A and B are shown apart, each in its own frame.
Chain A
Amino acid sequence: MKGSLYSLLFAALLGAVCAGLLTAARELTAARRDANAQAERIRHILDALGVAYEAEGGPEQLVQVFEKDVRTEKRGSLEFYEYVGSDGAVRAAAVLFGGKGLWGPIKGILALEPDRRTVRRITIYEQEETPGLGGEIATRGFTQQFDGQRIVSPAGEAGLAVQAITGATMTSRRVKDMLNQVAHQIVESEAGRGNVERGMRNAE
């Protein structure tokens, strides 16, 4: 009985010490880890928009470039990131999208031409799908099918046509749903704005 009690106490103490150490480490590194994750997100947005930056510049440089060249605008439920050139004209727009993949969260960026209707490029920057199957959604081989597609069909329906990956039905389906959802959100967010513009024109 004494042996068991000792084992229990030892295990409890060991667990407490390890947990304490790890919690302390986590707290101490939290700020830097978050800064890295944020810089990572910014880097993906800059890549999607085609903004130039120094590859080895580090997180501070990324934030600087982002604040200088990218305008963030909230429309409806979406945040649009617009690459504004030195002449003030919008060169590209990007929206984040994502959702639940089969094995973990999927996060991507939809980069649009300035008309905000034609896809320039889709990038999936975070996914935990099956390597070789669902994982292929992150490759250019999969994402290039969307280049140049319009997010609204001539009939006015918002959505994108998705060529699924054989052997990755679930992942493909989820990605299709995410893309269709973001396409809808983009069109909806414009709707309110369009009305305002029309209203103003009528008033002239």
Chain B
Amino acid sequence: MNGERHGNAAAGAGGRPILAFRAGVWNDNPIAVQILGVCSALAITTRLENALVMGASVVFVVMMSSLILSLLRKAIPRRIRMIAEVAIIATFVILVDQFLRAYYWDMSKRLGPYVGLIITNCILMGRAEAFALHNRPGISVVDAAANGLGYTFILAIIGLVRELGGTGTIVFGERVLVEIPDYPMNLVLRGAPGAFIALGFLVALLYALGLRKEREART
């Protein structure tokens, strides 16, 4: 069986959970550093609440799928490895989707197709392929949680900026800023341009804070 593969910062952590966790959330952040999972980061972050629910969904699915895949890693035949990964990820995503539709209907409508699209989110397949299939369950779950939380952290910041700047409300629609009708920034921030701009500035800010230097030092 293949040993532990060193394909990324978490694996290079040599099995130490705290380093793996830090890698997923910070120096190997899925959106800011690996540039994965970006489309849902842009599409649904019009409100902070959406971002948090989406983040929570991704954390749940990536943790569960990484756990199961890691437990089954010696039993999954190589030739159908990817199919097995997708099947397991898809099952958990659909479970989350059904749950939201039953118990959090408004949010389900707001997130729309993007819950189902978590199946195609590269972060999940990425963690499965690069980590869960080559590591023990314990650390796989830590790695998964870290990547999920890293994703959520970025989404939350973008969601906060877009909701405050675009609508003037904050978490659960509490109005914070005075509403100015027809203010152009509202439309920009609430729409696609605002998402790209917010993400771009955020990543630039994170790099300025030293994110890239850590990555370059490692490679």
Name A's B-contacting residues (CB within 8 A): 3, 6-7, 10-11, 14-15, 18, 21-22, 25-26, 29, 32-33, 36, 39-40, 59
Per the 8 Å Cβ criterion, residues 87-114 of B in contact with A are: 87-88, 90-91, 94-95, 98-99, 101-103, 105
Question: Apart from A18-B88, A25-B94, what are 17 other A-B pairs with CB-CB below 8 Å?
Answer: A6-B77, A10-B75, A10-B80, A11-B84, A14-B87, A15-B87, A21-B95, A25-B95, A26-B98, A29-B103, A32-B103, A33-B101, A33-B102, A36-B101, A36-B102, A39-B105, A40-B105
Inter-chain CB contacts under 8 Å: number: 49
| Pair B95/A7 contact, Cβ less than 8 Å | no
User: Could you show 5 A-B contacts with beta carbons less than 8 Å apart?
Assistant: A7-B79, A22-B91, A25-B95, A29-B101, A33-B98
- Chain A contact residues: over half helix, strand or loop, or mixed? helix
The 3 lowest CB-CB distance pairs between A and B, nearest first, are: A29-B102, A32-B102, A36-B105
Known: A25-B98, A29-B101. A11 touches B80 (CB 8 A): yes
B contact residues around A29 at 8 Å (CB):
98-99, 101-103
Q: Check B83 for interface membership: any CB of A closer than 8 A.
A: yes
Considering the complex, give the chain B residue whose CB is closest to the CB of A13: B75
A contact residues around B105 at 8 Å (CB):
36, 39-40, 59
Q: Check B76 for interface membership: any CB of A closer than 8 A.
A: yes
Residue-wise, chain B 58-93 has the 8 Å CB interface mask toward A (1 for contact) of 000000000000000001110110011001101100
A25 to B97, CA, bound (A): 10
A contact residues around B76 at 8 Å (CB):
10
A39 to B108, CA, bound (A): 14
Per the 8 Å Cβ criterion, residues 101-134 of B in contact with A are: 101-103, 105
| Pair B103/A7 contact, Cβ less than 8 Å | no
Q: Say how far A44's CB is from chain B's closest CB, in angstroms.
A: 12
A contact residues around B101 at 8 Å (CB):
29, 33, 36
A184 to B98, CA, bound (A): 39
| Pair A14/B84 contact, Cβ less than 8 Å | yes
B contact residues around A14 at 8 Å (CB):
84, 87-88
A11 to B75, CA, bound (A): 11
